[in-house]
Amino acid sequence: MTGVTVVPGPDGAPRCPWGLSTPDYLPYHDEEWGRPVHGDDALFERLCLEAFQSGLSWITILRRRDGFRRAFADFRITAVAAFTEADRERLLADEGIIRNRAKVDAALANARVLAGWEPGELDRVIWSHAPDPATRPAPRTFADVPAITPESTALAKDLKRRGIRFVGPTTAYALMQACGLVDDHLAECVARTRLPAPAAEGPAAPLGGPAA
């Protein structure tokens, strides 16, 4: 798919080809991916889900996001930080999520770290690594979309230094794409022309993103 440019959607409008690869992707591509996301709990959700996606396709996570939200108390940091060993065992037995021990443990550990941060600190840390849009020309094909960038490498290092686990440069860049720190919709994609609106914090806000 790296050399592919936009393709027409069911309404004839041009879109990134991944957004048409399954019906589940179309509304996600059009209304969620690349839109700015703010709020500590909302960004914690993205951190968790991008980590759970590691080694898997994003559609696997997207189709389970309601299950993840139920299992992780809508990703409220204070609630997840208070999870007990019984909660951990519940998560590892929950068929509605990805039952990966290392990823579950990382989500719980990260919540405990973040519970000690000041309100808004996670938002500030993540968004401090957003690149200047003027330095990023719109990609015309997926060959123009990187997997990692200096900014995603710096974000991953910053989060790791602060005690956050399971977020490498590739995961950090997927987070940046999904949360609107960068706009990697292709140049002629209809979603790129729509004005992004900041997402409210909470379970109804947009989620993660597919690897380019």
Residue 86 CA neighbour count, 13 Å, CB half:
0
Among candidate residues 18, 25, 33, 58, the one labeled active-site is 58
Residue 79 makes CB contacts below 8 A (sequence gap 6+) with 73
Residue 85 makes CB contacts below 8 A (sequence gap 6+) with none
Among candidate residues 28, 32, 45, 173, the one labeled active-site is 28
Q: Which residues pair with 199 in a beta bridge?
A: 37
Is 185 among the annotated ligand-binding positions? yes
Is 16 among the annotated ligand-binding positions? yes
- Contact (Cβ atoms closer than 8 angstroms) between residue 31 and residue 15: no
How far apart are the C-alpha atoms of 59 and 17, rounded to whole Å? 14
Catalytic residue check, 127: no
DSSP percent split of the chain into helix, strand, coil, nearest 5: 50, 5, 45
Catalytic residue check, 25: no
How far apart are the C-alpha atoms of 7 and 110, rounded to whole Å? 39
- Contact (Cβ atoms closer than 8 angstroms) between residue 33 and residue 178: yes
Among candidate residues 50, 151, 173, 201, the one labeled active-site is 50
Is 29 among the annotated ligand-binding positions? yes
Catalytic residue check, 95: no
CB atoms under 10 Å from CB of 1, counted, come to 11
Annotated binding residues for Zn(2+): 16, 29, 185, 189
Annotated binding residues: 16, 29, 185, 189
Active site residues per annotation? 28, 50, 58
